[in-house]
């Protein structure tokens, strides 16, 4: 019985110690991506319903919190894949629709925005 309790406690300690938030540079990129989504005026489709960028941001943040509880998000691409590309409930891809443009999968939209963020952060400041 003591061995079982010890094993369970060790497992809990490992789970707690291995789960942590993303590193600061990754978190900064995630925050920038979600800010772009919120401020874009675009709509976000999840499981057949359209939501505002602010609603999408809140939903994705809840998913990120859940994912970080299971382990560290290693990079922004992993965040997009695990939290912002498809419904974990239905498996359907999320979509982003901006203005009169046709909807695109959120993974494509977010990856494009990430490229813009990275390009602007690598530009020398004057």
Which tens digit of pLDDT belongs to each residue from 83-119? 999 999 999 999 999 999 999 999 999 999 999 999 9
pLDDT on residue 22: 79
The per-residue DSSP string of 68-110 comes to HHHS---SHHHHHHHHSSB-TTT-PBPEEE-TTSPPEEHHHHH
pLDDT on residue 122: 78
For the stretch 10-21, pLDDT in tens is: 443 344 334 567
pLDDT on residue 4: 45
pLDDT on residue 47: 96
Give the mean model confidence (pLDDT) for residues 63-79: 94
Measure the CA–CA gap between 49 and 44, rounded to whole angstroms.
Answer: 8
- pLDDT tops 60 at residue 126: no
CB 51 within 8 A of CB 43: yes
Measure the CA–CA gap between 2 and 55, rounded to whole angstroms.
Answer: 48
Among 113, 125, 119, residue whose Cα is nearest residue 77: 113
């Amino acid at each position: 019985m003591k061995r079982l309790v010890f094993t369970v406690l060790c497992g809990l300690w490992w789970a707690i110690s291995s789960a942590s938030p993303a590193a600061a540079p990754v978190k900064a990129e995630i925050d920038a991506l979600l800010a772009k989504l919120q401020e874009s005026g675009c709509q976000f489709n999840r499981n057949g319903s359209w939501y505002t960028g602010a609603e999408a941001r809140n939903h994705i943040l809840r998913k990120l919190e859940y994912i970080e509880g299971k382990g560290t998000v290693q990079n922004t691409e992993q965040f997009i894949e695990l939290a912002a590309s498809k419904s974990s409930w239905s498996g359907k891809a999320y979509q982003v629709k901006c203005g009169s443009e046709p909807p695109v999968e959120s993974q494509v939209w977010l990856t494009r925005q990430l490229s813009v963020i990275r390009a602007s952060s690598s530009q020398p400041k004057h």
